[in-house]
Every structure is written in structure tokens, then in C-alpha cells.
Chain A
Amino acid sequence: MTRSMTFSLSLAVALLLLSAPPSFAQETDDEALKPAEPDFTLISLPTALRLPKYKSAFRVTHRFTRPLGSGDFGDLVADLFGIDSGAAIGLEYRFGIVPSGQIGIHRTNNRTIEFFGEYGLVRQGQRLPLEIAVLASVEGTNNFKDNKSPAIGAIISRRVGAQAAFYVEPIWVNNSNPLPKQVVDHNDTFMIGLGTRIRVRPTVYLVAEASPRASGFKDGVNHASFAIEKRAGGHQFQLNFSDSFGTTMAQIARGGSSSKDWYMGFNISRKFF
């Protein structure tokens, strides 16, 4: 499932990024809704959406920890598809500090705190049919006291009209392996995030993403996730299914435990502008 999903996403993203655009309308009003790119994240991976200066956004993430494949269907229904189980929860807040530049904090309930920043370098428009942003983050376990894992990367995206957006995100994560470098072969991970958001109804989207690890530490299976999403004003309500609980860069780099285990979850985000 993960491998086929990754391949399909790769193919779709490659075709869309390379195809000639019908038109390159210059969009510089960052407060205006971009129907093809309504949010700052896909499921766990970031988008290139710019946050207007002095505006902000909030997000909560949930990944229920009961594998959907555990037991029979009756067991699954009895557990209300995992909602009865515990969850990996994340709270996030981001703020636009300069035009095209945003910073934020994301904390997960395993006491990992991630600080991140993103800067929009190139707008999709007449010069280039791509939007390009750079990102940097550093996260630490135990409330940022232990195990610091910085990450840097780029977000290359392509919006296709108001219907879809596609993403390629090469990201390098340092110290993705929680063990000391003296006892492991690989301490870093280079991954290529792939993702898409397709607008199937005026306010309904299908979202998918995967993060195949190209080199370095490759514990478990590659992170992969798909979702259905509803936009309601400044809110995005997303029901998602993932093979990992990762919502920070190092967590995504570590992947999931098994390709057989998928988990239900949800994201809710709110833009304050």
C-alpha cells in the first residue's frame, strides 16, 4: 500500500509539475483564499502557503493509536474505529513575522516540541510555474531538553487552477535516529515528501502524502497518509488515515512501525485572518 501510494504520488506530481500551465495569474494577496491550497499543511507535511504578516493560524492533530487492522470488523466498530483508544496529539501555532515568512511551534503529547520557520522564495506566476519555499525546524524531546533534531528543506509546489496542488519536498533531518551516533550506522535522514490536495467539491478535498526516505536512517516504513477534508470558512476539518503518528519532521523521518498498521486521525486548523 505504501509503496504503490508513493509511486502513484510520484508519477502524478512529476506529470503535473512538468506540464505547461494554462495561465500564470500573479497572486500576491496572501490574505485571499487560494482554493487549491487552503491550508498550511497537507496532512503532516507543510505546504508553501504564505502566512500574511502579523496574521496567525492554529492547528490540532490527532492520530488514534489503535491499528485499524487489529481484530475483526466487529472489534473495530466496537472501538469506534479507534476513537476509544489513546491518541498522539499535536498542538500548533504559527505566526507571520515578515512578508512571506512565518514561524511556529508544534508540540506533541509525547513531549516533543518543534520550532519551525518557513519562507516563500518564489511565487508561482509568470516567471515560473512553481511556488518555492524553504523551511527550517528544530525539535527536541522531553520538552526540548533532550535529543535535538534540526531539519532543513524546500517545498516546491504547483497549483493547478483552483482544483489541485502538488508538492515535492526534499527535506534533510539531522539526528532522526534517537540513538547516539556512536552506536548507529545512520544518524540523519534525507527524505522526499510528496503530496497532493485535490478539490473534488467546492469545499471538499482529497489529500494524500508520502515521505519516502532516500538515504540515511530508515527505521520502520515510510510515512504515508491520505485524507478527506472539508473547508468551512477559516477552518479545515480533515479525517485522515496514516501508517505513522508523525507530525514533526523527525517523527515523519522515522516513519511508521509497519506497513500493515494504519491509523485513523484528524486535523483541525483555523486561520486567524
Chain B
Amino acid sequence: MPTLMIVLVLAAGLTAAACDEKLSKLAGPTPNLEPTFSSIQAQIFETTDSAGRRACIICHTNVGRNPSGGLNLVHDGAYDQLVNVASARKPGATRVVPGDAENSYIIHKVEGRPDIVGVQMPLGGPYLTDGQILILKRWIALGAPRN
């Protein structure tokens, strides 16, 4: 029985010692990116990352210009411009459909799918990495909360 105890303690230790794949590794050039709106706003919309992917608000802003595509992603208005809001360019498309990343037009745009109007975003690249897009999708899949 002492041996059994050793085995069980070892098993418990191994379980406790296990560490999940780090979100920061998946997030790549935006290591602090999380599937929350505030994080996406800060890390994607407002920040040019270390890979050279440009901040969205360089073009999608109403400061000194008309926002590209009619989409304003500046801090206070971005959420209300995205969630359950129809695309200004593609009839019938919704920018973010809470709980449905596959049918959210923002995902189509950042992935450069064939059905998009215009070109893949960010304009001219570098584009979001697969990991960054996965985190964006996860926020949408969780219901796109204003968190």
C-alpha cells in the first residue's frame, strides 16, 4: 500500500504540475491578447503589433477623416459599431453576430474570404495571425460581450 500511495501522489503531482498551452504563445505578436472586447480593442484595434500589423484605427477612425468602410473603431464607439451592426459595404452581412463567428463579417474580412467586398484587412497586410483570429473568434463565440 505505501507503493500505491506513492503512485497516487505522483499522479496527483503530475496533474497539478501540468500546464496548459499558453494563450500568449497563441497570440504571437500581441502576447497580452485575450478573448475579451477590451483586450481586442487595445491589442488589435488600437495597437500596431511587433509583426508590423497596423492598428485598425489608423483608417477606421473619425478623427480628422471619415472612417474607412463607415466603421469607426475608436475607443468609445467601437463596440456599438460592431456587434449586431450591418456592414456598410456588403448587403445582408453583419459585422459581429454574437455567438456565431463563422457568420460574422469581420472574420470574413480579416481572413480574406472570397465573399468579401473590397480587400482583406488590415489593408495591405501584414494580416492577423491564425492565433489572433482564433482569439477574436472566441470572443464572438462567447457571445461578443462588452467586457
Query: From residue 60 to 78 of chain B, which have CB atoms closer than 8 A to chain A?
Result: none
Instruction: Answer whether A119 and B7 are a contact pair too, CB < 8 Å, given A175-B21, A182-B34.
Output: yes
Complex Cα gap A138–B25 (Å): 21
**Across-interface contacts of A148 in B (CB, < 8 A):** 17-19
Nearest chain-A residue to B4 (Cβ)?
A: A119
Q: How far is the CB of A66 from chain B (nearest CB, A)?
A: 27
Nearest chain-B residue to A181 (Cβ)?
A: B20
Nearest chain-B residue to A149 (Cβ)?
A: B18
**Across-interface contacts of B34 in A (CB, < 8 A):** 182
Q: Is the CB of B23 within 8 A of A187?
A: no
A216 lies within 8 A of chain B by Cβ: no
B138 lies within 8 A of chain A by Cβ: yes
Complex Cα gap A147–B18 (Å): 8
Complex Cα gap A204–B23 (Å): 49
Q: How far is the CB of B6 from chain A (nearest CB, A)?
A: 8
Instruction: Answer whether A183 and B18 are a contact pair too, CB < 8 Å, given A101-B3, A117-B7, A134-B7.
Output: no
Q: How far is the CB of A216 from chain B (nearest CB, A)?
A: 14
Annotate B18-37 by CB proximity to A: 1 below 8 A, 0 otherwise.
11111101100000001100
Footprint of B on A, CB under 8 Å?
98-101, 117, 119, 121, 134, 136-138, 146-150, 152, 174-175, 178-184, 187
Q: List 6 contacting pairs A-B, 8 Å CB cutoff, sorted by A.
A: A119-B7, A136-B11, A147-B21, A180-B25, A180-B26, A182-B23
